[in-house]
Amino acid sequence: MTDQAKPVKSPCVHICALNEEDVCQGCYRTGNEISRWGRYSNDERREVLKLSFERARKSNPFMS
């Protein structure tokens, strides 16, 4: 798949609050990931989504 495909959407849920570890409590992206989102390729965005999902699971063990 190339970056000519439709852009991967942001996981933002409009609950923008960074914790003491610089992770958003709404989407679980870091401050750097949020600020760079517009410049990321689709592959990079998918990697960020994977990392943010892992962070969300660690903070909420009831997520599957």
Which pLDDT belongs to residue 63? 72
Mean pLDDT per 10-residue interval, the chain, length 64 residues: 79 96 97 98 98 94 72
Q: Write down the domain spans for the chain.
A: 12-59
Q: Which residue has the tokens 């689709």?
A: 42
Which pLDDT belongs to residue 20? 96
Which pLDDT belongs to residue 3? 54
Indicate the burial class of 9 (C-beta count within 10 angstroms; 0-12, 13-18, 19 or more).
exposed
Rounded to two decimals, what is the model's pTM? 0.85
Which pLDDT belongs to residue 60? 84
> Are the CB atoms for 19 and 25 separated by under 8 Å?
yes
- Maximum Cα interatomic distance, the chain, rounded to a whole number of Å: 37
